[in-house]
Structure 1
């Protein structure tokens, strides 16, 4: 069993990651604060006291001491004491704490610093001091300058800093986790609606669409892309259903005709022309085989199957087809002025392409068929022209739909399954080319354009 270090849902995972990141950041910030703030606060107090002591010491050296010393901001205590213990100058609020004046430097001009903790006895003031002492020479003899500042404000500030660190950090992490959870929940709410709607969509009903939020963000793009995908799936499913229905219909007709012929022959064996019946049955079987082959090739093309390819000379391929059709219903005139027209592709599929184009032309031509193979730039152009009834402009795209047969072709019973031209266009597209119908009168002109293969 694999142990999961993170929760299963995206919301919980992102909330956990955000909280962990915030925890690391705030822990590092708290550690830095606790490591630097006390020293910075105390350093500021030391600087103020030292400045005040040196200023008074300078006055003492010159013998210009006032009786009452003025204390600067946050320096509460200043006093100058002679070597005999006489107070030469003092600030008005100097405390009666003998520990302050007991601090004496051993050398002249040497600054001594000490911190006095609150006394243990209750009758003494409970104030913590930062004390500095500096001994200088004065006109009256050696004297020591004392300066002191209370550290109560620093202690109080540090208490607040610790409260903010130890209580504020967990509260901030809880706030980060809660806000992240709420924000992600709000952001993923459209995803939940999309999921719920997708869960209701089945293969039988692809008409439903997922809601697209108005946020304009990536989730809105996801919903729009999902709807486009559903559109394509619906069209594909509809095309597939229509294809199956049309294929069933087209296969049913020759099968029904073959069965009827065989049933009649079986019912009246003595009156049956078995040679003619066999020929008709063979013709129906050949049509069934042709339809099945085209359906299989269409299925492979739809599936994206890539057959083995090699260089195929379209001029030679056209010559082979024309040779096999000698004695056809109408003559086939060939123009192979290009000499050779190499195309890199599947010989089987390219053979099927020409077969379908020529079969279509033979069915509809009145007196002749013209086939031209030309090389134009980096393209091989194969043109098949007949002089039949032609294809109306409004039907020139419809004939490339599967199982589509125009009314004039049905009326004249010219055969065909309606798969030849759609399959030919699919083959041309699979080879990076196109198959279109060009303007021509009389008759129809089909133009297949394929990439020319150039030897490297």
Structure 2
């Protein structure tokens, strides 16, 4: 019976450690195990090689000791034991392989190792099987004693190799598990301490809701990744809190602005219906049309701001002739008591959305016309990289400390708070959004006539 693939997936997810602390400890344990095992293998090979070299040096020293023990051409029988290794054995061989002398355990036996001509590696003989273990260390030295060539063969059991094997076996069985347990416990504790601020951040974020964005995550006060994460999240929460507050203010202001013309229309109709025979219906209709137009303009402005909030302004860009655009705005502006001057060099063009740019300059011109005493001027200049349009009036001007605030939504200064001014407090906010979407800037300064100069700088 074949298990469904989802069953294996669920099993894998269940077996997979979900905690970062567990995963780090698990991976650290694997890495430590591999590192310790690799280190032990390297140490073992080094120790084995050192043991072999030490044993070979002891056997060569023993061979020199045997050479020095000879009197003339005669070796003592039995040969003296090694002063360095009590288990070492030796035989002195003639060139034909005859045993001339041997240690006590090898006395009377034929050669256990021979040294072939031209070779430095002794060859084991059958006689060695009855008295020597299978694993031995052996050294063969050719020399001349009393004018006679001989071969001194020294041999010993590999007890040092056994000691090395025993030592490393104890390390593998006892030392490695203890070291790994200690290391994993240390990693578990250190990771837990390191992740404790993350858990505090998680609990705080879980408690934060859209209704209350004023809470902030605790900052550990460190300059590491967790400290950067906490500060970044607090900055994000501050931006979200500010955005939510602006949105609530925007909704409240928009509701109020929409309610005012609707209330005026409804009140006029209710009064007329209460006294239909005596009601001035033409006046009621005229006021209703005026309030409906105001309502339509407000809805259009709110839709433009909604497009700005989702980044849909400045779409469908093309080459726009600023001279023709500003001349059209002047021709369609109703201001019989004002003189509106337009001075734009020919072939002054920018790239942008024609409707959005027309709304931008229309809002700035309407704002200038609303406050001007007698004159509004539109001039243009620039350089190879940008175009600058200046819209100036001779009105009362804007205090320097208010020149940034007027770009906020639904902001009307004291001089224009009356509903009769026709201002909704959204014109400059929309102009700012359109300029930003086109990579342009708007700066308000004081005009030479004492009014306001709006300087729009657009990239060519």
TM-score by length of 2: 0.83
Provide, for residues 387-408 of structure 1, a one-character-per-residue CA deviation record: whole Å limited to 9, x for no partner: 2222122221221111111112
Aligned ranges for residues 8-407 of structure 1 at < 5 Å?
8-32=18-42, 37-53=47-63, 56-57=66-67, 71=82, 73-74=84-85, 77=88, 96=105, 98=107, 102-103=111-112, 105=114, 112=122, 130-132=137-139, 134=141, 138-139=145-146, 145-149=152-156, 151-306=158-313, 307-325=315-333, 328-336=336-344, 338-407=345-414
Structure 2 regions of 5+ residues with no counterpart? 1-5
The CA distance in 2 between the partners of 1:301 and 1:258, in whole Å, is 30
Higher alpha-carbon deviation: 134-143 or 342-351? 134-143
Report if the CA contact (8 A) 1:109-1:134 is conserved: no
Report if the CA contact (8 A) 1:113-1:133 is conserved: no
**Cα distance 1:146–1:264, how it changes in 2: closer, same or farther (>3 A)?**
same
Report the CA distance between 1:221 and its aligned residue. 0.3
SS in 2 for 1:417: coil
Provide, for residues 394-434 of structure 1, a one-character-per-residue CA deviation record: whole Å limited to 9, x for no partner: 22122111111111222594220011011111111111111
The CA distance in 1 between the partners of 2:275 and 2:267, in whole Å, is 12
Kindly indicate whether residue 13 of structure 2 is the aligned counterpart of residue 6 of structure 1. no
The CA distance in 1 between the partners of 2:439 and 2:119, in whole Å, is 95
Report the CA distance between 1:196 and its aligned residue. 0.5
SS in 2 for 1:450: strand
Structure 1 regions of 5+ residues with no counterpart? none
The CA distance in 2 between the partners of 1:179 and 1:313, in whole Å, is 72
Provide, for residues 429-455 of structure 1, a one-character-per-residue CA deviation record: whole Å limited to 9, x for no partner: 111111121112332222211112xxx
The CA distance in 2 between the partners of 1:113 and 1:166, in whole Å, is 37
RMSD (Å) for aligned C-alpha atoms: 3.7
The CA distance in 2 between the partners of 1:316 and 1:110, in whole Å, is 107
Report if the CA contact (8 A) 1:113-1:130 is conserved: no
Report the CA distance between 1:331 and its aligned residue. 2.8
Provide the residue aligned with 1:451 in structure 2.
459
The CA distance in 2 between the partners of 1:410 and 1:106, in whole Å, is 118
**Cα distance 1:162–1:113, how it changes in 2: closer, same or farther (>3 A)?**
farther
SS in 2 for 1:159: helix
SS in 1 for 2:421: coil
Provide, for residues 59-87 of structure 1, a one-character-per-residue CA deviation record: whole Å limited to 9, x for no partner: 85975989996956457647675879775
The CA distance in 1 between the partners of 2:104 and 2:370, in whole Å, is 125
TM-score by length of 1: 0.84
Report if the CA contact (8 A) 2:89-2:106 is conserved: no
Provide, for residues 239-292 of structure 1, a one-character-per-residue CA deviation record: whole Å limited to 9, x for no partner: 111111111122221111121122222222232332332221111111111111
Report the CA distance between 1:237 and its aligned residue. 1.1
**Cα distance 1:317–1:143, how it changes in 2: closer, same or farther (>3 A)?**
closer
The CA distance in 2 between the partners of 1:342 and 1:61, in whole Å, is 119
Report if the CA contact (8 A) 2:70-2:76 is conserved: no
**Cα distance 1:98–1:70, how it changes in 2: closer, same or farther (>3 A)?**
closer
